[in-house]
A and B are shown apart, each in its own frame.
Chain A
């Protein structure tokens, strides 16, 4: 971190770290005990650690201004990739563990922190925000610089964003383990963590806009449209869904200001658009950069890109109500959610089709290069899961699938098949470049990872399709005498083989991710300092 900062920037960094430490101390002192005090202590420790790190290197040789201005700022991306892999390990291990608990519930250890209810949000937050979020931030810094031919607008804020964002993730996850939760899916973090994320996010959006404003290219590339949509809409969703009144300024507990069916509607407006703008828009940005770069092919259709982007941002925001079919939510809201979900299909498929058609002329590379194959499979799963999503949003279909493991399977065909695959494709493209090398340290491990990931995803998704359809059919079956054909218990017992398969599929996927992490570690440890041949020279920069 400190190596790429000038002495003045290091001083600014120390000042910010002192502020963070003081803020943490204040929180810990105000709360005195409980979750919030632990979180205050975490911020204090982080702030002090940063003070020592930056202070110890304060008078080291600083990079010369001109030399630095002629290079892209990739230090934050490197750190972000590390955090991506760290959170992948945390989130995926938690996921495999809770999947195993569903098959062996009696294996639950006797401590509250290890119960299913506390570990499940550790899995979802660890994956969505930790793994996905860090990957998005890290790649967005890489992509915006190269597609704009401009260095990041300043050197300090990327670090503030990444460190601040990971503090949010750590607060959220440790809070769940201690029993603090807002009980809102994908928004379980408590009020002060939410406020902190808003601060970090505003800095992120400002940095992105400032960097784009410095661009040397006349047009803004599609990937940046998607990254901007991701940053902007996630800010809006996060703020509205998390408006809450703390019980006390010195405690973690808060209550949402929304109530009843309005609360449910706002929660799923947030929840589905977390899928749309966090897990889709941002990752489409990633796809739009790394797929053409890796395949060496032009994007197949600029016009389809436009249709996809505006279709996705316009239709997605309407569809959250399809999570509340057949509930107290008025029928008319359900109809709108259903129809917009169906209309969303064409822009989604246009994206997937555009990505696959881009590979025309590069199929030999897809065959030989596991990294590019990750991206191809990601595009295919993106197409499959968006079709499934529109299908499940149709009300009568939903009456079968709702509350079943089909939903879990659908989410994982998106997260494992699409989100994680495109992240791995991006990582395997980025990491050698960050290390100044031509290729990853262990090329054959990529091949192993690819097949473990694809098979693991298929085992997982097929098991959950079977599980969900079985549950849906068992729950709705009446016998000739008008009595339910199955008790709920029987439907639980019927899940045993599928839950075992799910744990196995997840473990395969985890094994692949462990290979990826070790591979990245081996590659980054042999970093060579040299200019990247693939990079266009940076355009002339304004004086800093």
Chain B
């Protein structure tokens, strides 16, 4: 084996002078190292790299002088600009909020008729309300408020508690089955009824929307005895106690026989969160007014 520390014996070196091989493409000599055929050129350090390195150092030093940068035990260097990210964030939010309060503050008073009559105000407020709805309500109620299985439609005339802005504001504030103060809506479990009775009830209730339910059937008698207290005589609803009308095809969970049997067997207890923890009273009033207009928006 050749002695690799002897320059004369290095691959590429002139055996007489020991000079390193000159690379014909670049004109530089090699460093004399050789690793399984890999060599390195003895290129001088590029000035461009040195300048670029210096510039980035300079940028960093300036940033360290101006901004909070280096820890000093329990404290840190504050920087000449005296910036504080918490304060900057607060200032930014407050600046935007100040613009918003110019019109939003008027919604603090729930005088919905006067608010709705102010066309200029509505032009400012309704686009913002649509975004508020999309960010907070649409996940369950759909972007157009058309609801879905388990979630009520907001763009029709059927309401459990009422679709006027005052009632809507209260529903949004308190929620349903969410906290101790919420509206309470519970379809009890009727699994104690005999299966045949539940079958008869299901047949009767599923026929209600089409108006073909026979008034003298056993199902009708069972309905009057067990259901009418909440759903009204003949299932017309309208008691505004959280129990839907069963005659207008607006039942949230569906009104085919199989679904009704499931509902009778297990009961229903849907939840809507109480939004008073998350939205301000003015925002809730804004949303209430917006939701109350959704039925008219329906094509």
Q: B-facing mask of A331-367, CB < 8 A → 1, else 0? A: 1101110111011011001100100000011000000
Instruction: Give A304 to B31 CA distance when docked, in angstroms.
Output: 13
The answer to whether B131 and A484 touch across the interface, beta carbons within 8 angstroms, is yes
The answer to whether B60 and A303 touch across the interface, beta carbons within 8 angstroms, is no
The answer to whether A298 and B85 touch across the interface, beta carbons within 8 angstroms, is no
Tell me whether B259 is interfacial, beta carbon within 8 Å: no
Instruction: Give A151 to B31 CA distance when docked, in angstroms.
Output: 25
Tell me whether B161 is interfacial, beta carbon within 8 Å: no
| Chain A residues with CB below 8 A from B143, complex form | 489
Known contacts A336-B69, A482-B98; A147/B36 CB under 8 A: yes
Option from B26, B89, B130 in Cβ contact (under 8 Å) with A361: B26
| Chain A residues with CB below 8 A from B49, complex form | 304, 307, 346, 350, 353
Stretch at the interface among B37-45, B166-174, B261-269: B37-45
Category for how many chain B residues contact A: 35 or more
Instruction: Give A322 to B40 CA distance when docked, in angstroms.
Output: 35
The answer to whether B97 and A482 touch across the interface, beta carbons within 8 angstroms, is yes
Known contacts A332-B76, A489-B143; A482/B64 CB under 8 A: no
Known contacts A218-B4, A304-B43, A360-B26; A342/B37 CB under 8 A: no
The answer to whether A343 and B41 touch across the interface, beta carbons within 8 angstroms, is no
Counting residue pairs across A and B whose Cβ atoms lie within 8 Å, the total is 168
Stretch at the interface among B50-58, B179-187, B189-197, B205-213: B50-58
Instruction: Give A339 to B59 CA distance when docked, in angstroms.
Output: 8
Stretch at the interface among A169-177, A240-248, A534-542: A534-542
The answer to whether B70 and A336 touch across the interface, beta carbons within 8 angstroms, is yes
Stretch at the interface among B99-107, B226-234, B241-249, B271-279: B99-107
Instruction: Give A539 to B34 CA distance when docked, in angstroms.
Output: 14
| Chain B residues with CB below 8 A from A480, complex form | 99
The answer to whether A482 and B134 touch across the interface, beta carbons within 8 angstroms, is no
| Min CB gap A39→B, angstroms | 37
The answer to whether B53 and A299 touch across the interface, beta carbons within 8 angstroms, is no
Known contacts A304-B45, A343-B56; A299/B39 CB under 8 A: yes
The answer to whether B1 and A482 touch across the interface, beta carbons within 8 angstroms, is no
Residues of A within 8 A of B (CB): 146-149, 216-219, 221-222, 289, 292-293, 297-305, 307, 311, 326, 330-332, 334-336, 338-340, 342-343, 345-346, 349-350, 353, 360-361, 478-490, 534-536, 539-540
Supply 18 A–B pairs (Cβ within 8 Å), ascending by A. A147-B35, A219-B35, A299-B41, A331-B67, A336-B70, A342-B60, A343-B53, A343-B57, A346-B53, A361-B26, A480-B99, A481-B99, A481-B100, A481-B102, A483-B127, A484-B135, A487-B130, A535-B36
User: Beyond the given A216-B4, A301-B46, A302-B31, could you list 9 further A-B residue pairs with CB under 8 A, ordered by the A residue number?
Assistant: A217-B4, A217-B33, A302-B40, A331-B85, A332-B68, A343-B57, A346-B56, A360-B25, A481-B102
